[in-house]
Every structure is written in structure tokens, then in C-alpha cells.
Amino acid sequence: MTSNFLLTPFQTPYNTAPFSKIENAHFLPAFKQGIEETKAEIDVIVNNTEAPSFKNTIEALEFTGEQLGRVSSIFFNLNSAETNDTIQKIAQEVSPLLSDFSNDITLNEALFKRIKTVYDSKDSLDLTIEQQTLLDKKYKGFSRNGANLPEGKKEKLREIDKELSKLSLKFGENILAETNKFDMLITDESDLAGLPEGTIEAAKQLAESKEKEGWLFTLDYPSYIPFVTYADNRELRKKITLAAGSKGFNNDVLDNQDIVLKIAKLRLDRANLLGYKTHAHFVLEERMAKTPETVTRFSKELLTKAKPAAEKEFQNLQDFAKGLDGIDQLQKWDGSYYSEKLKQKLFNLDDELLKPYFKLENVIQGSFTVANKLFDLNFEEINNIDKYHEDVLTYKVTDTKGDLVSIFYADFFPRTGKRNGAWMTSFKSQSIKNGTNDRPHISIVCNFTKPTKSKPSLLTFNEVTTLFHEFGHALHGMLANTTYPSLSGTSVFWDFVELPSQVMENWCYEKEALSLFAKHYETGEVIPMDLVEKIKESATFHQGMQTLRQISFGLLDMSWHANESPETIESVKSHETEAFKNTTLYPEVAENCMSTSFSHIFQGGYSSGYYSYKWAEVLDADAFEYFKEAGIFNKDVADKFKNNVLSQGGTVDPMTLYKRFRGKEPQPEALLRRAGLI
């Protein structure tokens, strides 16, 4: 093996990850050494003969494990964006090691004793707000993870955590394998009727790359979404929809039903062990919502407002489909298709009309221009740092003085080793140590339509808002300005984390912002204002159905995690059907199950937290009303948002931060107004 670059400080520009020098074989030794180094750092804290203080215990603990943290972020980011069989095998080996190590820390009695001593004397300490928050977080991090448990129960907790980490990894691997396994080869050109030219060309190119004759469609979003939206062939729409909806639900080696039941049961066991009624009670204690009852009440209030509108919209859509094609009963594989046709009829607007104005490079530049006008950030593409894949773009972000704010990675196209969807992540957190403000390395990962031989990457409007959404998360990470890494950037309550991302989507609907970047890729013509008006008009199209859909996902999440007896659930499908009963519009599809591929809650960090998308929408609608009142590029409002929300991370209670920015608590009516529901 060559020398292991993960075991030494990175001698790289801006201390960036040396991807080209890292081999898969380097990871396991680096994890093992990182764990040992961090244990040694913790031993120093525990064996300190001085009385426990904030500095020698809480702050010292905060800055342990720096090298291990970097190795972890590089490895798990690659496992999401550029994985392979070897990396997945290492993940299965490493996850229990990390789970054990995490428990070694939180169940370390001598360490907890020191933390508790500092915590119990906190009223007599002269701590800043950020220090108080860190102390509270460290104490709860231990108490909420078993530090107060007797020895036998601590051992039980270790077993549960190890098993959970393995199960969620396996869940994700199965979904990726299911996604990669399916492809639909079309050899009869007439079956392509209705599909946009760019989609057909991309499918042809994909088939050629696999040495096949015809047009190849997959479950990757840039292939799947256009197919179900535009393909006239109803049987083929059904085929690909059923494949997408049955991931992890085929009673084969990739089936996730048992995994879902085990995860739900183990999460309850874990919560009970720690003295909580359910997993949701445990999770929500550290959220703005605080309790499952609040989440349920919030969801039901929104449901009351949205359901009548959704049912009316659905009936209109059904009548439209019947009038157009004699469809008596709309099915799930008809929804996107007829919605698009109806939208075209009502607004004379479709994505194919808009796409020429949304060349990927222009949209990226547009997001940068918006960030510059609002937050004084400058983005410069650089090529002197390593990338983990040739598609990745790399940027240096600076402020008005030219000082480094962040390194920014952007990864936009689907490929075999990359999971579906879009997300923001980081390779290195921001913190201030020994007087040095160490700047973050932030990344966004998406799955957009690739360029073809004849066209650049042209985005649908939905992809434009996705890019701005993830870029909003990225700004939260980039503009972080806190002392402690665990309170930095997006390290905030989960139902607050979507505010910066969702608020950024609003600029995509504004003439003043669109005119900066929405330019025809061939002529350079700025998007015509009548199209901008149509985008705004159509923004509330099917908002009732969209809201109902999001609420249904949140209710499904709570049905698994606010459940006091998941062990009595015999059928994942039956349980899900019951959870969806008040939000269902389309006829039930026996072959489909959402839970078995609901990665947000069974693989990602959204268990008991899916409601937070809607919760944050209330915040973002209210926040953007403030921008609109003053002007969408008003510097005073932008500075308030930057200084009170984006830079503060998790240092202060989120409602306090929001009120400092807005001057008052958020009003739900702002969301209902924007959605056209009142």
C-alpha cells in the first residue's frame, strides 16, 4: 500500500481533501487510528488532576477527534456520492466500530462525571450564550445517550446502536441496488411519443453507453421524471412507476420490509431504555416542535386547510383526463402526465418552453449573483484542488475584502455510484480555535439532466428551485461564524435547518432575480416577462395536492416513530395504508410501498422529523414576505438574515434567532397565502 494520506495533516491548498491520493484501502486504518487518537485525547481530559472547568473539560472535549471527523466526512460523503462495492463493504465494517466508539465516549463514567460537575455549577460560571449552549448540548449529548443508565442497560444500548447503524446502511444499499438494477429499453420509436427531444437524446446516449440498441430509461430522476411526465404510452408509464414505487418491496434479497420493522422496534427500545415514551418523544425534545402532540396538531391543522383544496384539484384533474383521453380512474402513473397537460392548458406553460432559459451554468452563476447581491459573497472557480469525480466543480468563496469564506464543491449529474436526490454536506466544519477562524468546505450534490451531444444541461424549473434550495443550505454552511464546530453552520434544530434552503427558492419566482440569469442558451435573450408571470401564476398550481402529499409523508414518519408498539405491526404495507388513509387521493397500488424506500427516515436523519419541511415552509414564507416588503435585494433585511440566522448556527435557540431577524414570531398565514389556500 502507498503511504496513507489520511493519517497525516493534509498538505493541500486550503487544507482540502486529497481525493486523488486516497485509496479505498486507506480508510479502515485511518478510522482505526483516528479512534485511537481521539481516545487518547479523551484520556487526557479524564486524567486531568485539575478541577473540572468549562475550558479543560467542555471546550477540550469539543475539539477532540478532529482527524477522525475529517476521515468520517470524506468517507461517508463518498459513500453517498461516489460509492462502490468496496466502499460499501468498508462502511459495513466501520459503522459498528464508530457506533462502539461513540458509546465508549457517552458511556464513559469518569468523563460524564466531569461534564456533570461543570453543568451543575453552570449558574456560577461566567459563560457566553454560545458557551452555555455548548455546555447544555454536551450534557444532554451524554444524558440523552445513556450516561445516567446502570451498567447492564448501557451494554444493551451499545448493542442497539450497533445494530441500528448496520440496518440503516443496509437499507440504503438495497435502495441504491434497486435503482441501479432497473432499466427499461425501448426499441419501438412510437413508444417515445410525447417525450421531449432532450430526454429522447439522453436515453439514446445512455443506451449507447451500455452498448444497447434503442433508448434506455432508468429510475434516476433525470430519466424517470420526464418519462412519467411526458410519455404518452400509459402502459410504460405504469411499468416505470411500479418499479419506482416497489423499491425494497419485492420479497427478494433487496427487500427492506424486515429492516423497516426492525429499525422501528429498535428505535422504540432505545427510547424506552432512555426513559422516553417513543422514539418521537426522544427526538422532538431537541426540536422547535418539542413534542409529537405539537407535530400532530400542526399537521392536522394544515391538513384541514389543504384537504378540501386537494380534493377539488384532484377532481378537476380527473375530469380533465376523462375529457382528454376518456380515463375513468386516474392512477398514480397518470398524475404527473395529466398535471403537466392541464398546466400547459391553463397557463400555456410547460418545462420544455422554460428549459432553454435555464442552462445549468447560467443557473449556477445566477445563484452566485443572488448571493453576492444579498450577502456580499464572490465565487471564483478554481482547479488547484482535488475532486472525487471529474464532474465536480470547485470554487473559492471570498468576501468583499478578498478573505476566504469557504471552499465550495458542486456535483450535479447522476452516475452509478451516486444515490438519487439532492443534498448539501460538508467536508470540513467552521470553527474558531486559538484565534484562527478555520473556514468550512461545503458541498452540494444533485442529479440533474446531463449535457448531450447537441445540448448543454438544461434544467426544468423544478431543478432550478432544487439547485437554489441546496445552495441555501450551502450558504448556511459557508457563512457559519461560531467558535465551536458542533454549533456551526447547519448544526441547528432539524425543523429550523430547512429555513435557509427553502427561503432561497423564493428568488426563482421573482422577475428581478430571473432577469439576472434566465437567458436563452442559444440567443442570450432574457426570459420574456410573460413567461415570468406564468411561472408566478402557476406557482400555486396543485398546491393543495402538493401540501397533502408532504403532510402524508410526515404522518407516515410519525406513525412509525410516535408508535408505542411497533412490534405489533405485522405488515409494513397495511400499516402504511392506515397511516395514509386521510390523505389518499389515488387508488391503492398493491405492488407499491413507500416505507421500504423512505430513505429520509430510515437512512437519513429525518426520523420523527419529516414534518420539518412544512414547519420550515411556515418560517420561509413569513421570512420572504419581509424581503418582499422591503425589496428582494434589500441589504438591511439581507444583513439581518445573514447576521441572525445564517452565521449563528445552533448557538442560540432558533425561535430567538428568528425573532431577532423578523421582529416577531412567524405567521402560518404567510404560507397559506403563498400557496393560494386562503
**Active-site residue list:** 470
- What residue has cell string 468563496? 397
Joined grid coordinates for residue 265: 422496534
Cβ-proximal residues to 124 (8 Å cutoff; 6+ apart), any chain: none
Within a 10 A sphere around the Cβ of 52, how many other Cβ atoms? 20
Within a 10 A sphere around the Cβ of 624, how many other Cβ atoms? 22
- C-alpha 227/C-alpha 379 separation (Å) is 35
Joined grid coordinates for residue 393: 466543480
Output phi, psi for 168, to 5 deg: -70, -35
Please count the CA atoms within 13 angstroms of the CA of 375 that sit on its side-chain side: 27
- C-alpha 160/C-alpha 488 separation (Å) is 29
- C-alpha 574/C-alpha 304 separation (Å) is 24
Joined grid coordinates for residue 251: 420479497
- What residue has cell string 392541464? 342
- C-alpha 260/C-alpha 177 separation (Å) is 17
Helix (H, G, I), strand (E, B) or coil at 427: strand
Joined grid coordinates for residue 620: 420561509
Output phi, psi for 458, to 5 deg: -110, 125
- C-alpha 481/C-alpha 251 separation (Å) is 49
Cβ-proximal residues to 658 (8 Å cutoff; 6+ apart), any chain: 496, 499, 619, 623, 644, 645, 665, 666
* Contact (CB, 8 A) for 223 and 203: yes
Amino acid letter for position 656: T
Beta pairing, strands 431-433 & 436-438: antiparallel
- C-alpha 517/C-alpha 567 separation (Å) is 53
